[in-house]
């Protein structure tokens, strides 16, 4: 009898799961958008003011990172931005063009070294796997800070007293989880100076008003959102899991760094993200709100829209400038 492979689940354009467990992440959406998910090879030479390097954190580790070094002569030590990519915990990689385009720009404008983790993906590796990878990267930075390991760019140029967490979409969820976990640990001589969740995927099982009323976008539809979370969260969990629904958690006594919470006015999940913001304020946490007007979820990663739509281009400029300003002030 010949085994017949068949599709058991699909997220349109992004992901197909087969009955033998194989997961195909080949882009099947409009071909003009495919380049944004193409990998960009690392380059040790400076291109447009930034060099990149891929490496494993330890000789016996599968954990890999991409490092972005800005070309800033005689600048002294540079702040470090630890980046967690989005993709609903199920798709995307640190070397995708959409992240390369965004984080080379942030490295230049903020004058910072960016370290981006290649996170394990669900459904092969359900949460908390990606959170574990993210936190392990932070511990690797601590090892670099105290000289246990060495990486030329970071060891010579990095300011480990100014480490910032940043994440796009589901990467914003990871930012909050890592910040909470770090709050109970002694990371000396490393210091977390700030956390920047950008359009985090905070929601609950009951749909919010914005989920029902806001327009879907190329980077977020309700089908994508709910299917990715069903595949990514621990087996048996609902969207009320603390990773996706931190609203209502007890934050008193948790020593979080200052937050810059970035929201988009037309994001499907803006209502629940704003709930999180209000609860952070009630708990007495330092949290700045940055609002991008008239644009949707992860708009700044969409190079096509940035090139053809002046509004998207301007809101992206403001966002990068706002993040750079936050880093400069902390």
What are φ and ψ of residue 39, in 5° steps? -70, 140
Q: What angle do CA 89, 262, 205 make, to 5 degrees?
A: 50
What ranges make up the beta strands (E) of 107-191?
113-117, 158-168
* Nearest of 172, 182, 63 to residue 125 by alpha carbon: 63
What residues does 239 pair with on adjacent strands?
Answer: none
Q: Which of 37, 92, 116, 169 is catalytic?
A: 169
- Omega into 128 within 30° of 0, i.e. cis? yes
Q: Reduce the DSSP state of residue 129 to 3 states and report it.
A: helix
Q: Could you tell me the CA-to-CA distances from 282 to 26, 245, 253 in Å, in that order?
A: 44, 17, 13
Choosing from 95, 133, 168, 267, which is the catalytic residue?
Answer: 267
Cβ–Cβ < 8 Å for 123, 90: yes
**C-alpha separations of 167 from 171, 195, 205, 222 in Å:** 4, 9, 23, 20
Q: Whole-angstrom distance between the N-terminal and C-terminal Cα of the chain?
A: 64
Examine the residue annotation and report whether 61 is marked as an active-site residue of this protein: no
Tokens standing for residue 146: 């105290």
DSSP 220: B
CA–CA separation, 121 vs 86, rounded Å? 10
Active-site hit among 85, 176, 199, 297:
297
DSSP 215: P
**Structural contact between residues 115 and 83, judged by C-beta atoms closer than 8 angstroms:** yes
297 is catalytic: yes
Task: Compute the distance between CA of residue 59 and CA of residue 77 in angstroms, rounded to an integer.
Answer: 26
Query: Looking at residue 217, what DSSP letter applies?
Result: B
Q: Examine the residue annotation and report whether 169 is marked as an active-site residue of this protein.
A: yes
Dihedral angle, C-alpha 223, 228, 234, 239, nearest 10 °: -40
| Residues tagged active-site | 169, 267, 297
């Amino acid at each position: 009898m010949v085994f017949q492979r068949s599709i058991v689940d699909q997220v349109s354009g992004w992901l197909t799961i087969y009955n033998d467990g194989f997961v195909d992440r080949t882009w099947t959406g409009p071909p003009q958008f495919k380049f944004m998910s193409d990998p960009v090879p690392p380059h040790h030479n400076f291109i447009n003011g930034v060099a990149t390097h891929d490496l494993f954190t330890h000789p016996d580790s599968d954990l890999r990172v991409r490092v972005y070094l800005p070309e800033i002569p005689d600048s002294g030590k540079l702040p470090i931005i630890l980046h967690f990519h989005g993709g609903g915990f199920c798709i995307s990689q640190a070397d995708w063009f959409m992240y390369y385009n965004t984080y080379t720009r942030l490295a230049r404008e903020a004058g910072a070294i960016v370290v981006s983790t290649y996170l394990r993906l669900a459904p092969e590796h359900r949460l908390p796997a990606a959170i574990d990878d993210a936190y392990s990267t932070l511990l690797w930075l601590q090892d670099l800070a105290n000289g246990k390991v060495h990486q030329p760019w970071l060891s010579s140029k990095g300011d480990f007293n100014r480490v910032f967490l940043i994440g796009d979409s589901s990467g914003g969820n990871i930012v909050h989880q890592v910040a909470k976990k770090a709050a109970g640990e002694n990371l000396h001589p490393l210091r977390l100076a700030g956390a920047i969740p950008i359009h985090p995927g905070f929601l609950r099982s009951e749909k919010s008003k914005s989920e029902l009323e806001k327009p879907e976008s190329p980077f977020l539809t309700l089908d994508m959102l709910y299917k990715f979370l069903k595949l990514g969260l621990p087996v048996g969990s609902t969207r009320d899991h603390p990773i996706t629904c931190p609203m209502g958690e007890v934050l008193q006594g948790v020593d979080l760094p200052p937050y810059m919470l970035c929201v988009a006015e037309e994001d499907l999940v803006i209502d629940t993200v704003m709930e999180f913001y209000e609860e952070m304020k009630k708990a007495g946490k330092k949290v700045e709100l940055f609002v991008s007007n008239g644009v949707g979820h992860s708009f700044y990663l969409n190079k096509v829209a940035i090139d053809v739509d002046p509004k998207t281009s301007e809101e992206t400029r403001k966002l990068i400038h706002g993040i750079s300003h936050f880093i400069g002030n902390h």
